[in-house]
Amino acid sequence: MRNALVEEVNTDSGRRTGTILISYAVRGQNNMTYIELLRLNVTSNTLIRNQIGLPVSLHEIRPGMWLDVDFSPFLPNSRPPQTNAFQIVVLRRGQNPQPPAPPSRLTRTDRIVHVDPRHHVFLVGDPRDISKQMRFTVTNETVILDRNGRPIPLQALRAGQLVEVTHADFQTMSIPPQTVAFRVQVL
């Protein structure tokens, strides 16, 4: 698979094995593009390298990076599906050989339901109804601003705060749907 976006990385205590959650674009009917998720199991047998073939360790991979991945075709019926990664090539930022077109942007104003800084995500919407929520992934490029327009970290966001989120116009077909946040403004 080419041009997968790293959404989340989890490593074991030795930092050599773990999992990587990636997203990738899939063309559907009527020229619609859907974003799918796949969890890669990284074992001691997984070869991880950069574009010129030098070794890269799992703990160097961060959300927002682009990867080319070879993995087992066996995908159990789980959400998201997961499989073993055989080889991972880390693409340098700005060197993605087939960069996707810049996504269109939408804006949503809603209350924060949950913030998970460890996994770089937060949810907004109705806390009592998961079908009325949206999960946002925060990347290194996401700008988060307080009420006065000053930059703040994801950890500063709290459940119950009203925020305006500028985000991509695509989303996963999961419940709740997930997409990338470009800008978060606390109101």
CATH class of 4-91: mainly beta
Those residues with Cβ within 8 angstroms of residue 80's Cβ, 6 or more apart along the chain or in another chain: 21, 36, 37, 38, 39, 174
Residue 104 near residue 139, CB atoms below 8 Å: no
Could you confirm whether domain 105-186 is CATH 2.40.50.320?
yes
Cα-flanking dihedrals φ and ψ of residue 98, to 5°? -135, 70
Q: What share of the chain is helix, strand, coil (3-state, %, to 5)?
A: 10, 50, 40
4-91 and 105-186, same CATH topology: yes
Residue spans of the domains in the chain: they are 4-91, 105-186
Closest listed residue to residue 61, CA positions, set 4, 133, 109:
4
State how far the Cα of 73 lies from the Cα of 54, in Å rounded to an integer: 26
Q: Please list the pLDDT of the chain residue by residue as tens digits (187 residues).
A: 788 889 999 988 766 789 999 988 877 666 677 788 889 999 988 999 988 888 888 888 888 888 989 887 766 677 788 889 999 999 865 444 444 445 557 889 999 999 999 989 999 999 999 989 999 989 888 899 999 889 999 999 999 999 999 988 777 778 888 888 889 999 9
